[in-house]
Amino acid sequence: MPRRSEHTETALRRRARRALERQLAYQRGKAARAKGHEQDYVEAMRVRSARVREKLERVRPVASDARVLEVGSGAHGLVFYFGTTRGVGCDPLACDYAALFPAWQHRALTVAAAGERLPFADASFDVVLCDNVVDHAEGPREIARELSRVLAPDGLLYFTVNFHHAVYGFASRLHAAWNAAGLPFEIGPFADHTVHLTLSGARTLFRGLPLRVLSESGDAEGAKRAARRRPPRHAGDRLKRLFFKNALYELVAEREGGRAGAAGSGPAG
């Protein structure tokens, strides 16, 4: 009989595996639809990457040969059009994405690995990106620790995750419990994610890590406004009007231990 902690760990691992299976099925469908429209995807990726790069360059310039790692680079990550010759994308599904989206995946070196155990040396990247990933993974906190570990001193981190009203965390745990009990009934948004974080849950991922927060935002009001504007398609949309869902937590931080820290630059916002 597995001990309680082992049992919980196995259930979590199973959820993470299921989330990956669903992600792959979704991206296969998307790849089929993208055929002949690749340029539209490329354009959207360029815009998103430029927006993030601009945010980071408000802190300091990012060289065209900067060592940039994206953890959870996915099908359409930021790294592919980030504008560096030394981009690396890391994702457990990297081999599948390379086959499904050959038009741009070759623009970075892609590595099939989990963010909880990055196959890179300490301090080996100048910029680390992780955009909408950790709530799909088995170990969000372990990923946060790895993001910080592989950043060079003064290196820049760009991180996002969706956060939600606490009611969805409760519902997600309930969903996990009935799946663990063998009930095969799946609700898409809960099966696609391992956790549903609140804003404070997202912020505490980085607690105790050697990072200086440079800017941080969590726009729950924007998510509430969007839910009120959109005509509800189903009961879930009505619920979102009461309890917000999919608000964006966005963090820009800098790795401690370099000259910027020695010069005394503190948090900016």
Ligand X SMILES: C[S@@+](CC[C@H](N)C(=O)[O-])C[C@H]1O[C@@H](n2cnc3c(N)ncnc32)[C@H](O)[C@@H]1O
* Residue numbers at the binding site for ligand X (CB under 6 A): 20, 23, 71-72, 74, 76-77, 91-93, 114-116, 131-133, 136-138
Q: Which is nearer to ligand X, 24 or 258 (CB)?
A: 24
- Name the closest residue to ligand X (Cβ): 74
Q: Which amino acid is at 186?
A: E
User: Taking the complex as a whole, how short is the minimal distance between the CB of residue 140 and ligand X, in angstroms?
Assistant: 9
Q: Which is nearer to ligand X, 87 or 115 (CB)?
A: 115
Compute the 3-state secondary structure of the chain and give helix, strand, coil in percent, each to the nearest 5: 50, 20, 35
Q: Which is nearer to ligand X, 41 or 244 (CB)?
A: 41
User: Taking the complex as a whole, how short is the minimal distance between the CB of residue 266 and ligand X, in angstroms?
Assistant: 29
Structural tokens at position 34 = 């993208």
User: Taking the complex as a whole, how short is the minimal distance between the CB of residue 69 and ligand X, in angstroms?
Assistant: 11
* Helices (H), ranges, the chain: 4-34, 38-57, 94-100, 102-105, 140-150, 166-180, 188-191, 199-204, 220-229, 235-242, 259-262
Q: Which is nearer to ligand X, 77 or 201 (CB)?
A: 77
The closest of 78, 203, 187, 202 to 130, measured between CA atoms, is: 78
Q: Which is nearer to ligand X, 116 or 154 (CB)?
A: 116
User: Taking the complex as a whole, how short is the minimal distance between the CB of residue 219 and ligand X, in angstroms?
Assistant: 17
Which residues are within 8 A (CB) of 236 and not within 5 positions of it... i.e. 6 or more apart?
Answer: 189
User: Taking the complex as a whole, how short is the minimal distance between the CB of residue 264 and ligand X, in angstroms?
Assistant: 34
